Structure 1
């Protein structure tokens, strides 16, 4: 019922917004990705700096039923509507540029095990009717996205993803990140970041209970104090960036550990950072089934894959490629014991070669700036 009412609300606001006057130099970015690797936010910051002649508006969170009418007027007045999730525009002559939010690894849409046929058909029609430009990184990306969303090949354009521009130019130094999150100085520091995917959809209450108790890995053998000591011995520091829903389960964001820190959205919003503006300062990534690992390949740094819920994910939602061991260029760990046993040798030449192989498969776009690629294409191809 709530979904129906929200769709009704969107339809009504779209109808009203159509009567505003559209201007060719108006750009609206509907950011549904927060600050955890947002193509929309990265593109917004780039536009403000490089093209002040355009009136650029950032709308977040999106979608929302709490937007002021003035915001809807700006959406209606935009020539270009940039989206990070579902395509959207309020009038036929607007140009929707779809940046999406990552190379998909988990199944979505018609490929997923946990979606409804009616919803999938609605989404397929939405992409067909609304998306004008779908930014792409590779042939593989287009194949995966079309398998899930039935997107026509003519909509794809190999422009790259704006957030990748942020990886190689961190906004603060590694020393400052260490000071901000761990309140320490350490010239030998290796900073890792753990970013799991959304585990709530596994519909397993025991997982959420473990996370609520502070077991952010949801390992059976989790011992936070022991893990912290092992990290400390090696001058390693672990940033934990959970899904916002999971972060809300914690009673206290402040870590009781010296070498483990929780990164919440408040830090990012307070400093006007996107997470990708900090990733370049890290030395290794830990994840499970998140597509962030495809982006992290651009840094050519070690990746550790946490597999304790692999079978549940394959059963509940499914993965687009497999076997998992063949598509993940890094060490796999299934427990804290395995993680600690691998802390001294996170990388080797074989893993580095596999990372390069997957980078070539997922990134075929040339150019010094993906933001510039997107801007030039949309403004030159659709001059108005």
Structure 2
């Protein structure tokens, strides 16, 4: 019922927005990706910086039933509408540019194990009718997206993604010292051998596994059966390593407090990023290694040619609940895997070896997932539309 009412709300607001006069200089970004590698937000920052002649608006969170009518007026006036998730526009003369928000590893849409046929058919019709341009990075990306969403091949243009621009053209001020001082109350002066890693897991709530959720609620952010925060913190300190943890927003709400009793582990939430007007990808290049499970972020992190560790204690559940687009999983991922904390600690101790032994595999997957002129996607998208 809630979904039906929201679709009705969107239909009514679309109708009202159509009465707005279209402005060729009005570009609107509908950002549903928060600050976790948001193509929409990063493209918005680029346009505000490089093209002040445009009337650019950022509307977030999207979609939302709490938007003021002034936001809907901007949507109705826009010539170009940029989306990070489902395509959207209010009239046929508008141009929808679909960024999406990652190279998929997990199944979704038609390919997923946990979706309904009626929803998938409605979704495919939406992409067919609404998306005018889908930015792409490779043939593989297009194959994966079309398998899930039924997107026609003529909609793709290999223009790349704004989030990759942020990785390849980092600002000097968002360096490792920024991470240490902002999130760990330390600095390179105190610990010149410091290595900063980041843990970015995917959305684990959809596993419908109460035990996993209970572990996370108790502060076991890795959901390991042998989790011991003090021992993990000690192991990190011994190797001069720091771990920044950014969970899915839903999982962050499960914690009663973010006051973690650990000197080398810190949590990062969306408020930290919004308060600093930052996207995660703007300081991601300053990290030394990535830890994830099944998040598509590892494909992007390949641009940095740094080690990736994969946490696989929920692998079997994900294969059954949702499934993967590429497999077998162990043959796909370009990095070592850990099912237990003891295994993770050992991998962190031998991080340099892990980086070297998987470098060729990382480069191979980078070639398969990115075939565009790297680092100039924002400019390429702007030039194409003009």
| Shorter-chain TM band | over 0.9
Cα deviations by residue, 1:21-54 (Å, 9 ceiling, x for unpaired):
0011100000000001100000000000000010
Query: Counterparts in 2 of 1:35-50, with a 5 A limit?
Result: 35-50=35-50
Distance 1:79 1:287 in 2: 38
Contact 1:102-1:292 within 8 A present in 2 as well: yes
* 1:43-82 mapped onto 2 (5 Å cutoff): 43-82=43-82
Is 1:350 equivalent to 2:350 in the alignment?
Answer: no
CA-based RMSD of the aligned residues comes to: 0.8
Instruction: Note if 1:315 corresponds to 2:320.
Output: yes
Query: Structure 1 residue aligned with 2:257, among 244, 252, 258?
Result: 252
Is the CA contact 1:367–1:373 (under 8 Å) kept in the aligned structure 2?
Answer: no
Within 1, Cα distance between the matches of 2:87 and 2:374?
26
State the shift of 1:367 in Å. 5.0
1:204 aligns with 2:209: yes
1:98 maps to what in 2? 98
Provide structure 1 residue ranges, at least 5 long, that are not aligned to the other structure.
Answer: 380-384
Number of equivalences = 379
Q: How far apart are the structure 2 equivalents of 1:327 and 1:74?
A: 43
What secondary structure does 1:286 align onto? strand
Partner of 1:176: 178
Distance 2:140 2:349 in 1: 33
The answer on whether the counterparts of 1:232 and 1:259 sit within 8 Å (CA) in structure 2 is yes
Tell whether 2:162 aligns with 1:154. no
Deviation at 1:368, TM superposition (A): 4.0
Q: Give secondary structure in 2 for the equivalent of 1:72.
A: helix
Q: Tell me if structure 2 keeps the 8 A contact 1:304–1:330.
A: yes
Match in the other structure for 1:17:
17
Misfit runs of 4+, over 6 Å:
none
CA distance in 1, matches of 2:325, 2:338: 21
1:369 to 371, 376, 379: 376
**Aligned-pair distance for 1:350?**
3.1
Question: Match for residue 310 of structure 2?
Answer: 305
In the alignment, the residues of structure 1 paired with residue 196 and residue 355 of structure 2 have an alpha-carbon distance, to the nearest angstrom, of 18
* Secondary structure in structure 1 of the residue aligned to 2:349: coil
Task: Give how far 1:71 is off.
Answer: 0.6
Looking at structure 2, the residues matched to 91 and 315 of structure 1 have their Cα atoms a distance apart, in angstroms, of 40
